[in-house]
Amino acid sequence: MLLLNPGPVTLSERVRRSLTRPDLCHRESEFFDLQDEARARLLAVHGLDPVRWAPVLLTGSGTAAVEAMIAALVPADGRLLVVENGVYGERIATIAKQYGIAHETVRRDWMEALDIAAVAARLDAGPAFTHVAVIHHETTTGRLNDIAALGALCAERGVRLLVDGVSSFGAEAIDFDDDGLVAVAAAANKCLHGVPGAAFVIVRRDALASASGRGFYLDLARLAGLQDRRDTPFTPAVHAYYALVEALREHADEGGRAARHARYAALAGQVRGGLAGLGIESAVPAAESSVVLRAYRLPTGLAYADLHDGLKSRGFVIYAGQGGLSGSLFRISTMGDIDTTDIDRLLKGFTELVTR
Ligand SMILES: *Cc1c(COP(=O)(O)O)cnc(C)c1O
């Protein structure tokens, strides 16, 4: 079965084999070697300086990393502006509410691009915001949000930008030199091709100094301090760390972030071209979409369940639209160990189901 859902992804044999490495106690030096390698390789994906940036590992899914970032980095007297145009942006506002963090939202329809001018107007209207949170790749629709424009806006105003990069880190470009950007949350099992269970936040060290102390398990400043000293407070998902390290080695061996982007772009282009030939339209223009996942309009007369089941019986798992989009869209991710011959077979399956 090939997984074309937005994580977990189809594993390479190399990563799958890493899961059967020797049993490991997380208080032994071998575990800390593994933790150190994971942290160093996460920074290396974007060539980041460990003096300025702390990679903080967590055990949990991507949401754990996003929650840790929001809870820990907005200080007790901070104010957060959440920029939303999909499910994951709305999730950040829910997290802020849950923690009692003072926040407001700038909301766009799920099919729309961010309105940067509206964000600027909201920041300028006050009362003063200390942080802005945004989703880089909004997996709801496959839209790639313009975090560079938001980062510039934040830098001008001395506001700190927190980015959910769960479905973009490792493939899409992220400008860490941007002065507004202070943290990116992500996970092992999307563009990096590891398994679920390991997540991380890459955070500017000076932002950790003013961390809130909200949260216990997810206390980023404490985790960073312990991990810097080759320590860990809790039992990590050791096997997920094995897979993360092997996936990061494979990512580097294959040419790093830019090469992964190019590979996804080719596969996503192949899917888009093939589906267009069958009259299936992209929901978001290619130029505004990520290369990681794209949303397509369900052809009239074909119910999602029939499309899904027909493709599943041919060896592919695709993904439904979320919430109100479930009746009109479906999504196809090109993450994981898949290649052009897999996409050829997928398109053959679509042809059989659509022209039946
Ligand atoms: C997948 C994803 C998450 C995290 O989802 P989990 O189910 O916790 O792994 C968060 N944000 C975005 C944009 C995602 O695509």
pLDDT digit string (tens) for 143-190?
Answer: 999 999 999 999 999 999 999 999 999 999 999 998 899 999 999 999
Q: Closest Cα partner for 40 from 238, 200, 223, 210?
A: 200
Ligand 1 atom at shortest distance from the alpha carbon of 139 = 15
Q: What angle do CA 263, 178, 121 make, to 5 degrees?
A: 110
Task: Specify the pLDDT at position 57.
Answer: 98
Residue range 62-68: average pLDDT? Answer: 98
With a 6 Å cutoff on the Cβ, whether 132 touches ligand 1 is no
With a 6 Å cutoff on the Cβ, whether 85 touches ligand 1 is no
With a 6 Å cutoff on the Cβ, whether 67 touches ligand 1 is no
pLDDT digit string (tens) for 279-319?
Answer: 999 999 999 999 999 999 999 889 999 999 999 999 999 99
Percent of the chain clearing pLDDT 90 (strictly above): 94
Q: Whose CA is nearest to atom 3 of ligand 1?
A: 62
Domain boundaries, the chain: 13-253, 256-354
pLDDT digit string (tens) for 79-98?
Answer: 999 999 999 999 999 999 99
Q: Write down the CATH number for the domain with range 13-253.
A: 3.40.640.10
CATH of 256-354, one of 3.30.1370.10, 2.40.30.10, 3.30.70.100, 3.90.1150.10: 3.90.1150.10
Distance 248 CA to ligand 1 centre (A): 19
Task: Specify the pLDDT at position 85.
Answer: 97
With a 6 Å cutoff on the Cβ, whether 89 touches ligand 1 is no
